[in-house]
Amino acid sequence: MIVHQLLPSFVPGDAMSAAAIGLRLLLRRLGHAGEVFAGEVAPGFGSLVRPARALRSGSCDLVLYHHGIASPLAGRMLLWRGPFGVVFHNITPARFYAGTRLEEPLRSGRAQLAALATRAAVGIGVSDLNARELTAAGFPKVTVVPLFVESARFDHERADADFARRLADGGRPLVLAVGRVVPHKRVEDLLSLHAELRAIHPQARLLIVGKGAKGQAHHRALEARARALGGVTFSGPLAHAELVAAYRTADVYVSMSEHEGFGVPLVEAMAAELPVLAFGAAAVRETMGGHGLTFTEKRFASLAELVSLVVEDESLRARLIDGQRRRLDALSPLAAEQALGHALQGLARAAPAAAPLAPRRKGKVRPRLALVVQRYGETVTGGAEAHARMIAQRLSADVQVEVLTTTAKDHLTWTNAFTPGPERDGDVKVLRFRVERERRMRAFNRLSEERFAQGNDLVAEEHWLAEQGPVVPQLQEHLAREAHQYDAVAFFTYLYAPTAWGVPLVAQKALVVPTAHDEPPLRFDAFADVFERPRALLCNTPEEVELIRQRFPAAARTRVVGVGVKAPNARGARFAEKYGLTGSYLLYVGRREAGKGVGWLLELHRVLVKRFHDAPTLVLAGDGDLPARGERVRALGRISEQDKWDGLSGALAAVVPSQFESLSLLALEAFACGTPVVVNAASSVLAGHVARSGAGATFSDAEGYADAVRRVGAARKPLGVQALRYSRRFDWSAVLDAWREEIDRCRSGRGAARTG
């Protein structure tokens, strides 16, 4: 079904916002598509979260409204036509804010909660405490879906090393507290503890991480007292990698909060293997689940000794950390997913809850395959896209293939260029969906730089994915609603949103052609579902399988399938004549972009031409924004299919300068023409082709490039024979047999995921 979420405001770093994105991940895993809407959206996050006004009645089967402090959206939900549930994040008791402007919205939030109870189909508490309050407010159906923490995001290697080094350089013990600097968090009690701890350890430090209203008298008083005590730092909010560094560097985590509806930082500290000492108020005891160390009274001198004991007693410390690790199982994504599945039972309107396997049809009926790819069409350039089209067309003889794609043609901007709706490409049915948002490359590159530099939380990675795009909510909805119509769903390229968000929706019948390269996004945990959940990963080369196994040890079953390549009749002389080429030439066919290594290739070729008077001409065929100027450089623009084969057969060698290749159709097509290749040594896939075929050379700098060209030039004929021999491995009938077998496995329910 389609489940949208609505929350008052979306701000990165905020617990409710993180919960909504986390819930969306779980919903997908349960087979439900849906978007997140918010009353206010932080600047720059419009790709991930849409404004509340865009949420239309009838656009979904269920809305999950996140409720906390008073919000005008509660009134909107009271008039909502359709089923909705309330996810309750608790409201701080108003007594902590008596006499301030916050007092009334806190009470108002509780009044709104009671009013929602009469209309909501279900109340979801993120803890037992919240569930009890939902029941007290009058909700007839209440369940608990705990917030979850992805432990791996708090591993050592995710920490900002520089920040950790700076933090480690100072007095000990270092006590850490994470949370907003507001009255009910009782920072004053942390300071009282710190004062007692300084009496035992004069160099003790207290690090308080979290946002605070510095103008308020309460905050000013805290800062004044902290200055008097010494050794206290108010860091404000930290980036995720810095936060991990803080958890990993501190000696102990202390919570003095007098009200927590759940207490996410307690679980984060557990995930970062930091002993937790917490005041057992409200939901804290429940979140701790009997692990860590909970105290029921604030006797500061005793607590200071307790902190000291936990820091000094290695055995006690180890037992606490070990117990906390066990506690994390109950607060894992899997536990939350099961609880959410239970909460949503019976709430579906009419759609199937999850994509079930299609029933086996009697007689010889062609299996149905949905093929999801970010762009599709004869005029679309791109290796993965061409790969997808070849598979679709060749399989369509005995499989009903339906391509689910976008209306975009340009992979940089995702500008809508095709008409949405159904069309045909020969025997292949194509269904196009509109892209909601164009990509702005400059801003995206800046964001990528930032995200690739260090470890991220789930919100940051999902935000990057949304900016990467293409964002096509209707495609996700189609998958969620119509998956039962297909026997298998194949996804091409792991890197884009339709795959990352689509695979979990139909995991049990998903086949993924990842085309994975060793590149920064592959390190994002947001892609784990793409590699770990499908029925099988159909890879292009053994190198790709190895890379995936290294990055995702729990990856699904892998299989090298690749593509078949068969060269048509081709004549090099025809190409040379048509384009007026004299003498030998090196040919590159593909997008003329810096990301493909073309800029670097041009530079290496300039050096080659400068050094050798008989250097071959570099011919570049394909569209692109990179200017191709220079001596003995020819840019032909886009060329026909026949011209490409003619050009390859007459070339001295095909050049592949890209570092990020998972197959390289260009190299395979060159081999099929009996033409050797000159490739970037940094790509293990390309180097693997060269090593296995013995039909080419690799380069990693100007010297290597010159040497590779010289070696290929000296042995063009024998290398060509070896190229032809190697190309016989890429046979279409074997490739299509593998596809048919995998589709049949999905159809019959055989070959479960994660078989290794």
Partner 1 sequence: MKLLGRDFSPRTVLQHVAARLEARGLADGPGPMAEDGTEARVDPMEFNLEALASHADATAPLPLETHRGGLGGRAVVLVKRVFRASCQVLINEALGRQTVFNGHVRDSYAQLASRLQSLELQLQSLREVRTAKVPAPRAPRPAKKRSPRSPRRPS
Interface residues toward partner 1, by CB under 8 A: 91, 93, 99-101, 104, 107-108, 110-115, 129, 132-133, 136-138, 200, 213-216, 219-220, 258, 279-285, 288, 290-302, 305-306, 308-309, 316, 319-320, 322-324
CB atoms within 10 A of CB 419: 10
Q: How far is the CB of 87 from partner 1 (least distance, A)?
A: 17
Nearer to partner 1, 315 or 582 (CB): 315
Nearer to partner 1, 234 or 531 (CB): 234
Nearer to partner 1, 293 or 510 (CB): 293
Q: What is the C-alpha to C-alpha distance for residues 559 and 513, in angstroms, rounded to an integer?
A: 10
Nearer to partner 1, 210 or 502 (CB): 210
Q: What is the C-alpha to C-alpha distance for residues 77 and 63, in angstroms, rounded to an integer?
A: 9
Handedness of CA 162, 166, 167, 173 (dihedral sign): positive
Residue 710, class by beta-carbon neighbours within 10 Å (0-12 exposed, 13-18 middle, 19+ buried)?
Answer: middle
First to last CA, the chain: 31
Task: Single out the residue of 392, 393, 402, 395 nearest to residue 429, CA to CA.
Answer: 402
Between strands 3-10 and 36-41, the pairing is parallel
Q: What is the C-alpha to C-alpha distance for residues 24 and 535, in angstroms, rounded to an integer?
A: 22
Residues in CB range of 321: below 8 A, 6 or more apart: 273, 274, 275
CB atoms within 10 A of CB 447: 18
Q: How far is the CB of 76 from partner 1 (least distance, A)?
A: 15
Q: What is the DSSP letter of 483?
A: G
Q: What is the C-alpha to C-alpha distance for residues 256 and 628, in angstroms, rounded to an integer?
A: 64
Q: How far is the CB of 313 from partner 1 (least distance, A)?
A: 8
Q: How far is the CB of 45 from partner 1 (least distance, A)?
A: 21
User: What are the beta bridge partners of residue 208?
Assistant: 177, 234
Q: How far is the CB of 179 from partner 1 (least distance, A)?
A: 16
Buried b (16+ CB within 10 A) or exposed e, 261-295: bbbbbbbbbbbbbbbbbbbbbbbbbbbbbebbbbe
Q: How far is the CB of 537 from partner 1 (least distance, A)?
A: 40
The angle that helices 314-330 and 264-271 make with each other, rounded to 10 degrees, is 120
Tally of residues, the chain = 756
Nearer to partner 1, 102 or 738 (CB): 102
Nearer to partner 1, 98 or 365 (CB): 98
Nearer to partner 1, 299 or 754 (CB): 299
Q: How far is the CB of 292 from partner 1 (least distance, A)?
A: 6
Q: What is the C-alpha to C-alpha distance for residues 698 and 706, in angstroms, rounded to an integer?
A: 10
Q: What is the C-alpha to C-alpha distance for residues 463 and 685, in angstroms, rounded to an integer?
A: 30
Nearer to partner 1, 6 or 91 (CB): 91
Nearer to partner 1, 309 or 752 (CB): 309
> What are the φ/ψ torsions at residue 61 (nearest 5 degrees)?
-90, -25
Nearer to partner 1, 258 or 646 (CB): 258
Match 């070696």 to its residue by tokens: 711
Q: What is the C-alpha to C-alpha distance for residues 266 and 179, in angstroms, rounded to an integer?
A: 10
Handedness of CA 522, 528, 531, 532 (dihedral sign): positive
CB 283 within 8 A of CB 148: no
E-assigned strands of 162-231? 174-178, 205-209
Q: How far is the CB of 102 from partner 1 (least distance, A)?
A: 9
Token reading at 126: 């993120």
Q: What is the DSSP letter of 627?
A: -
Nearer to partner 1, 219 or 409 (CB): 219
CB 543 within 8 A of CB 685: yes
Nearer to partner 1, 113 or 254 (CB): 113
CB atoms within 10 A of CB 110: 18
Buried b (16+ CB within 10 A) or exposed e, 453-464: ebbbbbbbbbbb
Q: What is the C-alpha to C-alpha distance for residues 231 and 339, in angstroms, rounded to an integer?
A: 43
Q: How far is the CB of 428 from partner 1 (least distance, A)?
A: 57
Q: How far is the CB of 120 from partner 1 (least distance, A)?
A: 14
Residues in CB range of 539: below 8 A, 6 or more apart: 513, 514, 516, 545, 548, 558, 559, 560, 561, 562, 662
Q: What is the C-alpha to C-alpha distance for residues 637 and 628, in angstroms, rounded to an integer?
A: 10
Nearer to partner 1, 189 or 482 (CB): 189
Q: How far is the CB of 132 from partner 1 (least distance, A)?
A: 5
Token reading at 264: 């996410």
Nearer to partner 1, 320 or 690 (CB): 320
Q: How far is the CB of 366 from partner 1 (least distance, A)?
A: 54
Nearer to partner 1, 281 or 488 (CB): 281
CB atoms within 10 A of CB 171: 13
Nearer to partner 1, 304 or 516 (CB): 304
Q: What is the C-alpha to C-alpha distance for residues 459 and 20, in angstroms, rounded to an integer?
A: 9
Q: How far is the CB of 200 from partner 1 (least distance, A)?
A: 8
Q: How far is the CB of 327 from partner 1 (least distance, A)?
A: 9
Q: Which helix (H) or strand (E) holds 171?
A: none
Q: How far is the CB of 192 from partner 1 (least distance, A)?
A: 9
Q: How far is the CB of 140 from partner 1 (least distance, A)?
A: 14
3-class DSSP assignment, residue 403: strand
Q: How far is the CB of 305 from partner 1 (least distance, A)?
A: 4
Nearer to partner 1, 50 or 291 (CB): 291
